[in-house]
């Protein structure tokens, strides 16, 4: 084999190897992002999803969350909140946990000090009401 052919072949092999590893990284990053918090999934929502609770949650949302999550949870700086396929899991307990503890290393801070536990559950009730598949959960 001529040297030039060998060099070209080597370059091709290196290129395809790096593509494979890049692809691997991309998948890993996504996996790391979409994850559940099963420990918190079991927490029971103590507040019924009544119209009154949802309205209270909506008011709190408009005061504390709308700047990042947009009107009606349509998203902005923070992710949209209307889909049932959420980054941190979609059970009431998991949503409550994110609102309480925040997400380290992101703009999502925890609201444990700022909002009472009851207020955080009203927020869960409002957020889940944005997805019509979840309202009766
Ligand atoms: C300063 C901007 C900001 C504010 C204010 C904010 N959030 Fe967030 N929120 C974010 C960001 C950014 C994320 C995404 C974190 C990540 O990368 O996982 C997030 C994530 C979330 C998630 C998880 C979404 C998912 O797909 O799993 C929920 C639920 C949530 N926020 C609710 C709220 C509620 C309720 C409030 C108000 C009490 C609020 N956020 C206020 C920026 C904000």
Residue 73: CATH number of its domain: 1.10.760.10
21 & 84 share domain: no
Confidence grade of residue 52 (pLDDT, cut at 50, 70, 90): very high
Closest-CA residue, ligand 1 atom 8, reads 108
Structure tokens at 130: 């944005």
**In terms of DSSP H, where are the helices of the chain?**
3-33, 38-41, 51-64, 66-69, 92-101, 117-129
Residues with CB under 6 A from ligand 1: 64-65, 67-69, 77-79, 81, 86-88, 95, 98-99, 103, 106-108, 111, 123, 127
Residue 34: φ, ψ to 5°: -85, 105
Q: What is the pLDDT of residues 53-78, one digit of tens each?
A: 999 999 999 999 999 999 999 999 99
Residue 137 within a domain: no
What pLDDT shows up at residue 10? 75
Question: Cα of 34 to ligand 1 centre, how many Å?
Answer: 14
12 & 68 share domain: no
| Domain count along the chain | 2
Percent of the residues in the chain that have a pLDDT greater than 90, as a whole number: 64
Domain that holds residue 10: 1-33
95 & 68 share domain: yes
29 & 51 share domain: no
Confidence grade of residue 17 (pLDDT, cut at 50, 70, 90): low
- Does 3 have pLDDT greater than 90? no
């Amino acid at each position: 084999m001529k040297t030039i052919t060998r060099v070209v072949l080597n370059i091709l092999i290196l290129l395809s190897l790096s593509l494979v590893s890049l692809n691997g990284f991309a998948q890993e990053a996504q996996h790391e992002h979409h994850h559940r918090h099963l420990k918190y999934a079991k927490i029971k929502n103590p507040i019924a999803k009544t119209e009154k609770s949802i309205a209270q949650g909506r008011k709190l949302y408009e005061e504390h969350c709308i700047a990042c999550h947009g009107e009606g949870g349509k998203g902005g700086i923070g992710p949209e909140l209307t889909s049932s396929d959420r980054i941190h899991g979609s059970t009431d307990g998991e949503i409550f946990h994110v609102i309480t503890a925040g997400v380290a290393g992101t703009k999502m801070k925890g609201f444990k000090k700022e909002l009472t536990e009851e207020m955080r559950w009203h927020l869960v009730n409002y957020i889940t009401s944005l997805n019509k598949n979840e309202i009766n959960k």
